[in-house]
Amino acid sequence: MPALDELTPAQFCRFLADRAIRRCYFVWHDETETVNSSHPDLEPLGRWLAAERRDFDRHEGVFVQIGESTGALQGAFVHRTCRGQAAGGVRRMRYETVAEYLRDGLRLSRGMTHKNALAGLWWGGGKGVIDPGPGREPDGRGLRPTLYEEYGCFISSLKGCYVTAEDAGTTAEDMAAVFSATRFTTCIPPACGGSGNPSAPTARGVVRGMEAALAHRGQGDLRGKTVVIQGLGEVGSRLIGLLAARGVHRVVGADIRAERIAKLKRAHTEIELDLRVVATDDDSILAEPGDILSPCGVGGTLNSRSIPRIRAGIICGAANNQLEDPDRDDRRLAERGLLFMPDFLVNRMGIVTCADEQAGYINGDPMIEAHLDQQWENGIYRLSLAVLARADESGSTPARIALELAERRSRELHPIFGHRGVEIIRSLIADGWAA
């Protein structure tokens, strides 16, 4: 039999089902510096996680269950909860292998630790990942709400160490289904009293990041510039109107969905547009000339293959984990004289918008708008300028400076609840959560 990490999610679900395992976990044990697995059969996967040092990075807990009715593989990744409950959205996507599934969850959840800490939110970092599982696509009538209700129950069972939200593959409607089964969620639809789709504020935040990058380089503002966007989904499509309003001369963009491109062409006649439909493996858009490249599709697009071809001087986009190899790719970009705005620094507005949602939601909330204010020192604009200046002074890269700051902040303890997340995890295990 192949190693557990090499199985497809469907094979892994069968492996668990054959052993009557519906829930399992992997938790970091500080004293022994090892990953403890809930079941002896899963110890090889625990060792695999521990060996993924950079991405695992002492995750406090990884929790997985097979959906009772849907058979979907549902996960909650809890990276670090010093600042509060682990918070981050739930992604629904198909993965080739268990390794890809786990790696994506780990990287995204670690990224949330850094994003939340940099934004100054009293939240730790976490992420949810759902793979639809053994050949069942939960888009059929009835199955999709069931999937998200199941996920809500799963989140409730974790007793608040992780608070979920919307992410790629999940809609506001899905969040309503999650909310029907748990209070540990944000991004619920406005009709349920929440903030809804976070993409509009995220796009506004990315624009602030672009403005900071231009100011840092002495290139003025966005007027007359050309912006190249990869991925014209929820965030990328909203960038077009915002950029047009700021006097951007031309937007070049690519997406794999033809109907989206056609719709955007019809909607935006106020700006010069060059939008293309591309194949999934076609990343030629990254090599387009322009002032700013904005990756707004999937992660990992900045890598040893793409970096030598990039022609825009500034890179600033919404996609999470744009650097395929964060230990190397920021240096590669800097060596080419390209200014990379770390994604976890500029794409915070989605999580900021829902951060205080559990305390009620106000349209135009000043506590949210402050993050877009060019005067506030912890807003995206001024914090970006500070990070860029520090990178220049120290000869380091913006990604490393932002990461150092985020790491420091992420270890600050929540002023009221302390490190309650790990206490919750300990109690889950003591109470036989996976039994």
Active site residues: 127
Alpha-carbon distance of 332 to 290, in angstroms, equals 19
Q: Decide if residue 186 touches ligand NAD (CB under 6 A).
A: no
**DSSP string for residues in 261-282:** HHHHHHH--SSEEEEEE--TT-
Provide the 3-class DSSP secondary structure of residue 340: strand
To the nearest whole angstrom, how small is the minimum distance from the Cβ of residue 38 to ligand NAD?
A: 29
Contact status: 198 vs ligand NAD (CB under 6 A): yes
State how far the Cα of 36 lies from the Cα of 43, in Å rounded to an integer. Answer: 8
Closer by beta carbon to ligand NAD, 285 or else 424? 285
Measured from the CB atom, the residue of 157 and 303 that comes closer to ligand NAD is 303
Q: If binding is defined by CB under 6 A, does position 288 make contact with ligand NAD?
A: no
The helix/strand/coil state of 413 is: coil
Among 53-61, 214-222, 234-242, 377-385, the segment contacting ligand NAD (CB under 6 A): 234-242
For residue 71, the tally of other CB atoms under 10 A from its CB is 19
Residue with Cβ nearer ligand NAD (38 or 109): 109
Cβ atoms of residues 198 and 220 within 8 Å: no
Question: Does 85 contact ligand NAD by CB under 6 A?
Answer: no
Among 234, 288, 291, 330, the residue binding ligand NAD under the rule CB under 6 A is 234
**Residue 298 contacts ligand NAD per CB under 6 A:** yes
- Contacts to ligand NAD from residues 309-348, by CB under 6 A: 318-320, 347
Nearest to 244 by CA among 211, 220, 268, 214: 268
Q: How far apart are CA 10 and CA 16, in angstroms?
A: 10
Is position 256 an interface residue for ligand NAD (rule: CB under 6 A)? Answer: yes
Q: Which residue is nearest to ligand NAD (CB)?
A: 233
Report in angstroms how near the CB of residue 112 gets to ligand NAD at its nearest: 10
Task: With CA atoms as reference, report the closest residue to 115 among 29, 198, 239, 176.
Answer: 198
The binder of ligand NAD chosen from 125, 126, 290, 297 (CB under 6 A) = 297
Q: For the window 373-392, what string marks contact with ligand NAD as x by the rule CB under 6 A?
A: --------------------
Q: Is 106 in the site for ligand NAD (CB under 6 A)?
A: no
- Quick check: helix, strand or coil at residue 58? coil
Interface residue with ligand NAD among 82, 296, 341, 405 (CB under 6 A) is 296
CA 217 to chain centre: 27
In the list 255, 288, 291, 330, the residue contacting ligand NAD (rule: CB under 6 A) is 255
Work out which of 93, 143, 153, 168 binds ligand NAD, going by CB under 6 A.
168
Which residues, including other chains, have CB under 8 Å from residue 248's CB and lie 6 or more apart? Answer: 222, 223, 224, 225, 226, 227, 271
Q: Between 403 and 428, whose beta carbon lies closer to ligand NAD? A: 403
Alpha-carbon gap, residue 381 to 384, rounded angstroms: 5
Tell me the closest approach of the beta carbon of residue 234 to ligand NAD, in angstroms: 3
State how far the Cα of 249 lies from the Cα of 227, in Å rounded to an integer.
8
Among 66, 73, 248, 278, binds ligand NAD (CB under 6 A): 278
Three-class DSSP category at 23: strand
Q: Measured at the alpha carbon of residue 186, what is the angle toward residues 381 and 368, in degrees to the nearest 5?
A: 25
Binds ligand NAD by CB under 6 A, chosen from 199, 226, 384, 397:
199
Provide the binding-site residues for ligand NAD, judged by CB under 6 A.
Answer: 167-168, 198-199, 202, 230-236, 254-257, 260, 278, 280, 296-299, 318-320, 347, 350
